[in-house]
Amino acid sequence: MRKNILFFLIILTPFLTSAQELFRSGRFLHHSTGQNIWGPNGSQTSIPLQMEIYNTSHGYTGTNAVTMSKWWWPSGGDNEWEYWHRIFDDEVPGVSITPILNSNKIVVIKSCYPSSEMVGWGQPSDTLTPTLKTNYNHKWHWRSIVNVMAQRPQNFFVIWTNAPHVAGNTNANAAGLAKQFCEWAKDTLAVGLDPVMGSFPPNIYVFDYFSKLTDENGFQMLQYAVSNTDSHPNALATELVAPQFVTEIFDAAIAYEQGGAILSVSPQNQNVTAAAGSTNFNVATTLAWTAQSNAGWCTVTPSGNGNGTLTASYTENTSTTSRTATITISASGAPDQTVSVIQAGAAATLSVSPQSQNVGAAQGSANFSVVSNTSWTAQSNTGWCTVTPSGSG
């Protein structure tokens, strides 16, 4: 009898090992803002294109490839966090999210910019008016949604932070409140520091859409808006957010799938001009991390703890040749991530002085000063005058 049992376990174990649950496919529930980010929206990219790039770069094919479809989710008024709260509590007549959860491993939800039309900090009594857009109510809605999501470890959930407004469609108080709420969502709630919620469920990821498009005051930057009176994201916003959407969400989902720690850095590359300056990368993790550049001309934020911004500072590139710095970000228990700063070369310069040289009838030579940042050649149009054929610098 003992031999039979042992034989059964040996046969069964490989079968169980090969049946790992994959979190590679999902559904994006959106409205107009999400549709614009899905793309192409007049841009050269889209979320579907970025998924193709992601699969190619990771070697994912077949059932290992990442996929996502989109669906215009029915609107429920102008406070979508209150609406999502009721949806996840199954309190919206005729609307059930359960079929979507049962048929998709990854589910992404978001709100549109009316959620950023906030009116105050709020207080506990605000919950008697759930549609009231206060900081207190938004947090209450989110905690409730997260609690329900946590009860479905068979799903991986992504919640966007608010869609922001351009200054022409809001006011300083509302923009500041929206910024503070979204900072709480990403930097307090999502890293397990919220005193009410405590530890954050591993099957949920907060995608901080708000901070990607806003200035220091919480206004959507005009370069990312359709116009100064239309807060919908434009083509430039699609080009910025679509790659980060794919990288952050699928990095997090696959880390959850594999039971590992999450470390995601985006965008993959930052293209900068030849002038000295700095550029930023978004780091998404619950871990302490370090960063290191492989190029002396590019220095980086050396370390951080949890979600944060990695700043890469670079010197002027005086050469006409572009150059690339590779930055490696490391966190204990998570695979290293690499991103790049690609700096353009300087425009070629060439000056020769003096303009002319007057010489005597006797044989001899005369000098001209050549100043350049690249290689050069010289040629005379007459046989009696020969010149230095080439040089550099």
* Total number of domains in the chain: 2
> Which among 141, 143, 135, 137 is positioned nearest to 125, based on CA atoms?
137
Residue 7 maps to a domain? no
- Same domain? For 323 and 198 the reply is no
pLDDT at residue 44 is higher than 70: yes
pLDDT at residue 120 is higher than 50: yes
pLDDT at residue 257 is higher than 60: yes
- Same domain? For 278 and 161 the reply is no
Strand locations in the chain, DSSP E? 25-30, 67-72, 106-109, 156-160, 204-207, 225-227, 230-233, 263-266, 269-272, 277-285, 288-293, 298-300, 303-305, 308-314, 323-331, 334-343, 350-353, 369-372, 375-377, 390-392
Average pLDDT over residues 42-68: 97
Beta strands 334-343 and 269-272: pairing type?
A: parallel
pLDDT at residue 14 is higher than 60: no
| pLDDT over 90, % of the chain | 74
Average pLDDT over residues 31-56: 97
The predicted structure's pLDDT at residue 9: 36
More confident residue, 250 or 9: 250
pLDDT at residue 3 is higher than 60: no
Q: Is residue 301 within 8 Å of 373, Cβ to Cβ?
A: no
- Same domain? For 251 and 270 the reply is no
Residue 364 maps to a domain? no
Those residues with Cβ within 8 angstroms of residue 171's Cβ, 6 or more apart along the chain or in another chain: none
Task: In whole angstroms, give the CA distance from residue 341 to residue 295.
Answer: 10
Q: Is residue 328 within 8 Å of 292, Cβ to Cβ?
A: yes
The predicted structure's pLDDT at residue 12: 37
Residue 171 maps to a domain? yes
Give the pLDDT band of residue 7 (cuts 50, 70, 90): very low
- Same domain? For 73 and 203 the reply is yes
The predicted structure's pLDDT at residue 164: 97
Average pLDDT over residues 63-85: 91
- Same domain? For 109 and 155 the reply is yes
Three-state secondary structure call for residue 177: helix
| pLDDT over 70, % of the chain | 95
**Tokens encoding 296:** 């002396």
The predicted structure's pLDDT at residue 77: 79
Average pLDDT over residues 186-207: 91
pLDDT at residue 10 is higher than 80: no
Average pLDDT over residues 166-187: 97
- Same domain? For 89 and 61 the reply is yes
Q: Which residue range(s) make up the domain with 272?
A: 263-343
More confident residue, 313 or 266: 313
Give the pLDDT band of residue 84 (cuts 50, 70, 90): very high
